[in-house]
Every structure is written in structure tokens, then in C-alpha cells.
Amino acid sequence: MKIENSTVVTEFILLGLTQSRNIQLLVFVLILIFYLIILPGNFLIILTIRSDPGLTAPLYFFLGNLAFLDASYSFIVAPRMLMDFLSEKKVISYRGCITQLFFLHFLGGGEGLLLVVMAFDRYIAICRPLHYSTVMNPRACYAMLLGLWLGGFVHSVIQVAVILHLPFCGPNRLDNFFCDVSQVIKLACTGIFWVELLMVFNSGLMTLLCFLGLLSSYAVILCHVRRSASEGKNKAMSTCTTHIIIIFLMFGPAIFIYTRPFKTLPADKIVSFFHTVIFPLMNPVIYTLRNQEVKTSMKRLLSRYVVCGIDFIMRN
């Protein structure tokens, strides 16, 4: 089937994470455990923040959106990866590959920008507390939320638009377990130097600048906190430390993948696996373990549901 950009490839064959059946079984069980135990944590965070009147601060508003992005992001690669472990032939259609690539960068770009917004929120709260209610009003929060969604969309559309104009006439074997820019463009039947350069600037440079900017902003915040003698010093330190952990977990693998020329390295698959499958499911654990307010509210919410459940059983 020939389409407008001279592409004759209608599907891609995924070689997967590994060819070892024992390792595949181990990874399958690992992902399944993460899904069954940790993924509900994202939805629990959202439900807790939505139902607790005490968690209305912008920090929790953005945390709820982060949980939503993580939950959405975790459905892009992992479910198909689980199905592929049970299949002899791992095949994804051309359109399915483009769709996966689009949502991967749309949600990933939006999450990166959300971390920038959360850093700005913490900077205003800690370094400019008298201006916090004015700057971080509900209207401003929704405007920032809209801006990061648009930013992620534009970032992803650029990736997809470039790939849609590349001709693919064979081969069609992707040495990975999902579709991403760095693997797909290598299969194009044309010179890709300028395409690689564009992708490095669009993904790699943006990721690196966000990472350095976030580290700089939190360095300023932590210096300010250390000099202060306020009662909320420990809480501010804990919150900022949590955010810094998330920054390293998200941007570290992304920088490794997108800021260098697209050359295949042995560690690429492992880094990609951590970045696309493990990391989105770890956020709820990190946040709930380090945020006392969220933990307390979750316990109240769960105990309320348990009591309601017991009451329902007793009545019936």
C-alpha cells in the first residue's frame, strides 16, 4: 500500500527487549506486578486530591495532574509490551507506530513542562511567599496547565510531521520493544542527517535545557531554605528533595537517549525500558512516601471506603 510520502512499509516488526525467554518471563512478571500494585497509586492520588478539601493548594493541583499524566503515559508502551511477550511475532502497523510515537512525546513533553511549572510554584511559595496567592491564583494555574498541554502537543507534532514526510521502503525491523524517533528514522530510505539534527534540537536540547534550568531553580530554592529559620523548613526541604528525585529519574534517561547522535548503544534498551515503563509507575510511590499530607489524606480516604464496605456487607 503506497501512501503520499512514498512509504510502502505498512508495518514494523519489533525485535523486543530481549530474545531470552527466561528474561522475557521475568520482565513480564515484573511489569505485571508494577501494574497491579503501583499503577492504582496514580488513581488513588487523583481521587485523594479531588476528594480532600484540605488539598486545594496549587502544589496538589499540579501533583494530581502529574499522576494523571503518569497514568496515561504508562498505557502507551507497557500494555502492548505485555501482549508482545505472549506473541511469537511482534508486529505494529505503520499508523500504530506513528500513534504510539505521538502520544509518547505528547505526554512526555507535557510532563517535562509540568515539572518546570511545579518548580516555579515551589520557587514562588518559598522565595516569594507574600506574592504566592497573587501569582499562583486558580486562573494562573489553569493557564499554566493549558500551556504545558499545548507545549507537549507542539513538541510531538513536530516529531510526527517530520517522520510522516520520510519514505519507508524497507527494511522494517525495529531493534526495540516500541516505536520511537531514534529507531524509526534509521529505517528511512533517504539521508537522515538533517532529520537527526532536528530531532536532537527538538527533543535533546529542550530536555537538557529544562533539566539544567530545573536543577538551577531548586539549587536557589534550597539555598534560600537553608538560610531561613521558618517552621516549614523541613517540609520545604522534603518537598524540594522529592521533586529533584523525580527530575533525575525523568530527565536522566531522556538526556541519554535524545541529546546524542542517534547511534545504537548496548544500554539503549535498558534505559528506554526504565524511561517508558518503570519511571511512570514510580512517581506515586515517591510522592506518597515523602508527602505527609497526601499520606494522611489517603489513609482517611481508604479507611472511609473500608468502613463503607464493611457496613454494606453487614447490611446485606
pLDDT at 114: 92
Residue 98 has what pLDDT?
93
Q: What is the pLDDT of residue 312?
A: 62
pLDDT per position in the chain (316 positions), as tens? Answer: 344 455 678 889 988 887 788 888 888 888 888 887 777 888 888 888 888 888 888 988 998 898 899 888 888 888 888 888 888 788 999 999 999 999 999 999 999 899 899 889 989 988 888 889 899 999 999 999 999 999 999 999 998 998 998 888 878 888 888 898 888 888 888 887 888 888 888 888 888 888 998 999 888 888 888 877 666 677 777 778 888 888 888 888 888 888 876 677 778 888 888 888 887 777 767 766 677 788 788 778 777 766 676 666 667 6
Domain chopping of the chain, boundaries = 11-307
Nearest CA to 146 out of 105, 110, 107 is that of: 110
| pLDDT score, position 4 | 47
pLDDT at 194: 83
pLDDT of residue 7: 60
Put residue 16 in one of left, alpha, beta given phi > 0 → left and psi -120 to 50 → alpha: left
Q: What's the grid cell of residue 102?
A: 505521538
CATH topology of domain 11-307: Rhopdopsin 7-helix transmembrane proteins (1.20.1070)
Q: Look at the block and give the residue holding cell 503506497.
A: 2
> What SS3 string covers 235-304?
HHHHHHHHHHHHHHHHHHHHHHHHCCCCCCCCCHHHHHHHHHHHHHHHHHHHHHHHCHHHHHHHHHHHHH
